């Protein structure tokens, strides 16, 4: 897999839910606000990646193993956000954000959150 797929993320253009980080979606009208939704994942740290990160920190540079894990976590949280949106009858999420925190030193918590809405195309 190339760096773009391995170290990037985001939605497929065929996704049934439009997710944007803005307050509105140009070309769409908000017909109904459903409310706040989130998708959450907590990932433990792999001992090998921790050791590799410790060694890498001595010489500097990107911690590719940790970067890849964080990308996977963000994508998983985003997929769960979309599942929640669909389950509640939404076809859009406005003001989507990520929150990443340390989970008591045992892992990383990644939360994708936003406002679930029903959108229709503007005339």
DSSP string, 90-119: -SEEEEEEEEEEE-TTSEEEEEEEEEEEEE
**CATH of the structural domain 14-121, one choice from 3.30.720.120, 3.40.50.720, 3.30.565.10, 3.30.110.70:** 3.30.110.70
d(Cα 55, Cα 36) in Å, to the nearest integer? 41
Please list the residues that pair with 111 across neighbouring strands. 40, 99
Rounded to two decimals, the pTM is: 0.79
Convert the pLDDT of each residue in 20-52 to its tens digit. 999 999 999 999 999 999 999 998 865 555 555
Convert the pLDDT of each residue in 44-100 to its tens digit. 865 555 555 555 566 667 777 778 888 889 999 999 999 999 999 999 999 999 998
Domain residue limits, the chain: 14-121
């Amino acid at each position: 897999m190339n760096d773009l797929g391995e170290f990037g993320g985001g939605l497929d253009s065929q996704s049934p839910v439009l997710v944007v980080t803005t307050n509105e979606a140009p070309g769409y009208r908000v017909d109904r606000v459903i409310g706040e939704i989130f998708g959450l994942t907590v990932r433990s740290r792999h001992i090998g990646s921790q050791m590799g990160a410790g060694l890498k920190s001595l010489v500097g540079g990107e911690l590719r193993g940790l970067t890849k894990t964080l990308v996977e976590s963000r994508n998983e949280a985003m997929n769960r956000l979309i599942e929640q949106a669909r389950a509640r009858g939404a076809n859009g999420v406005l003001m989507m954000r990520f929150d990443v925190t340390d989970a008591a030193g045992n892992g990383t918590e990644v939360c994708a959150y936003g406002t679930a809405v029903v959108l229709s195309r503007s005339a």
